[in-house]
Amino acid sequence: MTKDGTLSLVLIWILIAKGGAVCPDGFCRHSDGCYRTVALNVTWIDARSYCEVLGGALLSPVSQSMATAAEGALRRMKGTIFPGKFWLDFTDLLNPKDWKRMNDKKALNFTNWESTSGTGTSDDGARNCVYISESLAYKWVAVSCEEKMNFLCYHAGLPPTTERYPLGSTRVYKNKHGYYDWYYEQMYEYKDVSPRDVDC
């Protein structure tokens, strides 16, 4: 009991935190991001639209760790998706050989070109789009945007969501002019109701 006669009240907060972001339905977590491998055969521009419809964006790796996570997602599907080429959200359609990320229109600050099959820097015709090649160690290859192939959608993840459940009430006592007064205080439990991350 404290000096002023109020019982110290311990609110019970049970938060089953999973630490970090939650993936939207159909997306699988790899490292800090959410990935969805799609086996359809579509052009680059269609892949961009499909990813938006699926609630993400066409993959646009900006770092080695993101490229490694994407590779992890693709390795799990290895040999099951054909042709095993996955569009990236890069293009030099705006200015030849000046590769840009379409989500922020910035120049690439991380690249993972396959060294022998067209880095996009040589004069190799209308190769304005880029894919990750399963058969070439998940490196990047420049190709015509009209080719049809698979793709990988990305989502940074949603914050976890919680719901409040009543746990009953507790009496709180208060010293009022020499005698104890009391009132009820509701207690709550907070539970994580985020959709489960799918490990895939």
Ligand X SMILES: *[C@@H]1O[C@H](CO)[C@@H](O)[C@H](O)[C@H]1NC(C)=O
28-32-37 Cα angle (round to 5): 30
At its nearest, how many Å lie between ligand X and the CB of residue 83? 4
Structure tokens at 27: 């997306």
Residue numbers at the binding site for ligand X (CB under 6 A): 39-41, 62-63, 82-83, 109-110
Nearer to ligand X, 138 or 151 (CB): 151
Q: Which is nearer to ligand X, 6 or 41 (CB)?
A: 41
Choose between 41 and 117: whose C-beta lies nearer to ligand X: 41
Closest CA to 141 of 87, 68, 72: 87
Nearer to ligand X (CB atom), residue 155 or residue 194: 155
Please report how close the Cβ of residue 110 comes to ligand X at its closest, in angstroms: 4
- Calpha distance 9→160 (Å, rounded): 27
